Structure 1
Amino acid sequence: MLTVLVVTTACAGGGAKRDALVLGAIYPTSGPQQVGGTDEERGVRLAVEWANTHGGVQGRPARLETADVPRPEAVPSAMRMLRDRGARVVVGSHGSATSVAAAKVAGETGMMLWETGAVGGATPVANGGRSFFRLAPMGANLGRNAIAFVRDELAPELKPAASLRYAVVYVDDPYGRSVGKGALDEVRGSGQVLSASLPYDASRADFATIARRLAETRTDVLFAVSYLDDGVALVRALTTAKVPLVASIGTSSSFCHPQFGQRLGRLAVGMFASDKPDQAHVRPDALEPEGRRTLAWASARYQRRYGKNMSAEALGGFSNGYGLLAHVLPAATSFAPTAVARAALSTKLPRGALANGGGLDLAPPGAPDEGENRRAAGVIWEWVAPGERAVVWPALFATHAIEPLHAG
């Protein structure tokens, strides 16, 4: 397995030179997740640039060393390489399976993983609140938010809420299990009717069979945790089978993806997704002054450099990297992972302080959600027209009203 290591150094100008603070980064910049991974890494690079143009970190320039991890199997060698280059704190990783592997290595080797994008994969070996922190929404919370949105916002407009039957279909991997479990817990915990829980293997799923199962169980509301190709295949199978759904909602790796709407066209209209916001759909007036300033700074530079707006991955990389570089590291008594962890747990930022609308409130060791960010930025998207999506919930961040649903 080839792991590519690239060194990026951006130093603050002027004054005597000081030893750089080395920050590691692992993202898939090649392979099947390279688009999102590249965007997320670009966002982190901007956060390092921001730090270095604003005096560095405790007066020291920050230096980013990055390793391409196209598959989880590349993680151990990448982490060793970054450690050899002086990194003890590593940001990453975009993919849930990669995050699991990196959290394990960090816990075993005295390093820290600052997760900027992956939503699934927390495990007992992750050492949450010690050597693992997740700034992106926890996968289970994306699932819970999706069910709560349907129950509280959509159900009053549908058939009697008490009679709605919910099904959860999820890819059987760390990402799918994490998000799916959150949805299942919310369905059961709030007294809703669960019609089906259907895990599947993305490499050999029979979506026609899944569609028949949803019809047989008289499912009204579908929550799907999938990747792009299988999410599109699932929707097409539901359409072919004429499954009479009254609401369909997915999550981050498929239903909210721009290509989901491009590939499905009118079939996607009225479908929802529980995910993170991108730059084009963040309302500056909903942010704190700090969030507005950094959003304007980062979006202008990203546009000049890459010729496009910041995707959810790029914005998450910048915002969550900024939280580390601008708030946590300056508060740390040293740059050892244990000291950085203490600073992370004591740093509190309100929602809207970060450019993506999030804040910072990391759960301590021993909490059920240890190491998770309780103020992570999460929204509900809707496809409101062919190829057009908008944030519709929560109300503070909504850019569009909720439109009538498309029945499957």
Structure 2
Amino acid sequence: MHDIKSIRDNPEAFDAALKRRGLAAMSSSLLAIDEARRTAILASEQAQARRNAASKEIGEAKKTKDEARANALMAEVAELKTTMPEMEAAVKAAEDQLRTELAGIPNLPLDDVPEGTDEHGNVERHHFGAKRNYAFTTKPHYEIGEAMGFMDFEAAAKLSGARFVVLKKGLARLERAIGQFMLDLHTNEHGYTEVNPPLLVRDDAMFGTAQLPKFRDDQFAAGALGNEGQGYWLIPTAEVPLTNLVRESILDEKELPLRFTALTPCFRAEAGAAGRDTRGMIRQHQFTKVELVSVTTPEESRNEHERMLSCAEEVLKKLGLHYRVMTLCTGDMGFAAQKTYDIEVWMPGQGEGGAYREISSCSVCGDFQARRMDARSRGPDGKPRFVHTLNGSGTAVGRALIAVIENYQQEDGSIAVPDVLQPYMGGLKVIQAN
């Protein structure tokens, strides 16, 4: 959410940043709504002040037995009582309109974000390792898993439809092992606090992290629970409950940064992904992910972004997977992000010669989400200010599973277990069909 005062103070800078996002100028229309809102507020405040003053004057007129003046003032107060609700309604309508307009505008990119219109404008920041060489023709993960009998898309389709999978035996255990390994790494070595959050959240929480209202069609609605008047949603990522842990609060800046992690199922409707990645586990309606969330001060958010990236990278380094880090361009960033790093892992089974596929996105959001959540901190000067929030995948467990299957596939159809995962697999070194 944007600060209308900041737009009012520097509309040219706001429009210039929107242009980098590929959007038309909006400051003039926003400021027109804001002016109408401020005019309505002033009129309402003046009416309230006049009503209070007139009420006092009535008493004075009655003391002096000036009945004519008292009657005139009472008539004026009565008229104000009639018109003031209309003025208050006008204020609310203007405020709601401004809030709705602001809620639909994406975050503004930082100055060092490369410009571009789509993924082709992304810039490689660095890479780790190198592509593996195989003495045999590599296969995609779904062929390997189905041949083992441990990856069943047909059974999942009978249960739930397309974009679901049933994992069995060694692959079910391998996915669990990957998630547990990531949690242990982030909590024991990276200082994140493990959280087990609700998987159902309310409208306000989804609005706070900017899934609503713009991306409503990408979410799974769960209907209403009880008579609370709000809808419930299956979380698309643990970013939603983890970030909202600080909503409607004022933190002591001595407590910052707060770093949270969670291993949860995630649910996405993938409404905009028709026809994409229809084979295999790349793009599922339900998947597992380890999420990283940080809450920090404006001064430290850029450093925290680099730190979060390194934490996510460490997962892939320990798994021995080749990857590259891309700085996303202005046209490819997410709605709430100021700057995003994508980690793309190399998967040898993704087409001829393999392909890089996103396995983590680490984003700094500035105070964009904090304004929507009303999450603030109080510094040494005692004045509250909005915190900065960050989120990243640390990493997507399902895609890490795919990367391990494809990178560690053996010519006989088995899968070697990476050294770091073997303790989580009871010492098992190779997964093979029974």
Higher normalized contact order (CA 8 Å, seq sep 6+, divided by chain length): 2
Q: What TM-score results when the alignment is normalised by the length of structure 2?
A: 0.24
Which structure is larger by alpha-carbon Rg, 1 or 2? Answer: 2
